[in-house]
Amino acid sequence: MISSRIHIFRKLVVTLKNVSFVVSSADYFLFTISPFVKRLEFRNLNFYSGWASATNLFPHFLPTLTHLHLCDITFNTFLDVTHTICAFPHLQSVEVVRVHWDSNAIHARKGDAVQYPVLPPFVHRIRWRDTPLHELLHWLLSHDKLPIVPHLDIGPVRERDVSSAGRYLFQVGPHLRHITFSFCFGTYHDCALLSDPERRGDSLALRYKEVFGISTCHHIALFTELRSLKIDDFVDCNSLSCNQRTPAFCAPRVLASVRSPKLTRLILGINLAKVGALDKHDVNWEFLDETFASRPYETLEVIEFEVKGRVNVEGLKELISSRLPYAAGRGLLKFHKAT
């Protein structure tokens, strides 16, 4: 019976619908299952409805919880978000999706600096999606000892995030193992921020500047231990206009900047209704194929196209393979439906 609890109660999901029951029953069943719960998920709550009750559950999981997932939650302030994350000292991963707060809320008395808590020391993975990114980066940079998070999944990265993202990535770049990006830049010029100084003798960087007129990104070149790179929304028929810069400018720039001798896996997200819609997006396939044939990609083992939408995967595979003949010839291209 004890061994089965380890698997049955490994994850607990708390929502607006069940929060009252879970809290009221805490003394009866949490005492029994809390030692086995490793992942705690809070969904569809807000600071004024359900969240106050949910925080009463925290003490039950302090010694055991390693994974925290917050989804569709509205907090009062960003400081409340950080205190929630830091309530669990043994956390290893944090996932924050569609979480919001009042950016105008007062954190402290006028003139006082906000005192953020310290990120738990064992956190090695952060997924921060459709949630204001600037505040996360500012929090990480405020630490006396910068947190090193080797698995990062962030996005969309917007213009206001570029400076702080650059500062954080510049310092942790050599420690990154896996990173996922999505972008939402309003103009081509936003993609040109944080450019490299000229890298003499770097044929890919020179070729990129020849084609696109701007330099590659020095911060991404520092990801020398990177094993996998994912660009979400590489092509997305449902994205806002700002995301249309991803295939045209942002993705080629990221790909031309990578300099990791350990990179083996590249994932590109595609969301289309039909195969023919691919050509509505401004993708420089010739340059991408040149990139995959260049020296920085000699260790690459697979380029995965993660496909969403109603598009026929086999038809899409045939079209993209014809656009990337070198990569296809090396047997790098794989296609699969996103789960």
Which CATH number is 209's domain given?
3.80.10
Q: Are residues 95 and 160 in the same domain?
A: no
Q: Are residues 33 and 172 in the same domain?
A: no
Half-sphere exposure of 265 (CA within 13 A, CB side): 11
Q: Are residues 119 and 139 in the same domain?
A: no
Q: What is the pLDDT of residue 1?
A: 43
Residue type, 119: L
Domain that holds residue 11: 1-106+114-123
Classify burial at 68, counting beta carbons within 10 Å of its beta carbon; exposed 0-12, middle 13-18, buried 19 or more.
Answer: buried
Count: domains in the chain: 2
Identify whether 253 is part of a domain: yes
Beta strand 93-101 with 125-129 is parallel
Q: What is the pLDDT of residue 135?
A: 95
Q: What is the pLDDT of residue 107?
A: 53
Q: Are residues 43 and 139 in the same domain?
A: no
Instruction: Return the closest-CA partner of residue 116 out of 92, 134, 91, 135.
Output: 135
Q: What is the pLDDT of residue 140?
A: 97
Q: What is the pLDDT of residue 51?
A: 76
Identify whether 77 is part of a domain: yes
Q: Are residues 21 and 63 in the same domain?
A: yes
Q: Are residues 54 and 155 in the same domain?
A: no
Q: Are residues 67 and 204 in the same domain?
A: no
Q: Are residues 78 and 13 in the same domain?
A: yes
State both tokens at 85: 């994350």
Q: Are residues 65 and 143 in the same domain?
A: no
Instruction: Return the closest-CA partner of residue 219 out of 286, 133, 152.
Output: 152
Mean pLDDT per 10-residue section of the chain, whose length is 339 residues: 52 88 74 80 83 79 90 94 95 98 66 83 98 96 96 92 90 96 67 53 88 89 96 82 67 94 97 93 95 97 97 97 98 96
Q: What is the pLDDT of residue 9?
A: 67
Q: Which residues contact 215 (CB under 8 A, 6 or more apart)?
A: 192, 195, 196, 197, 198, 205, 208, 209
pTM over 0.85: yes
Identify whether 251 is part of a domain: yes
Last residue in a domain, options 123, 148, 178: 123
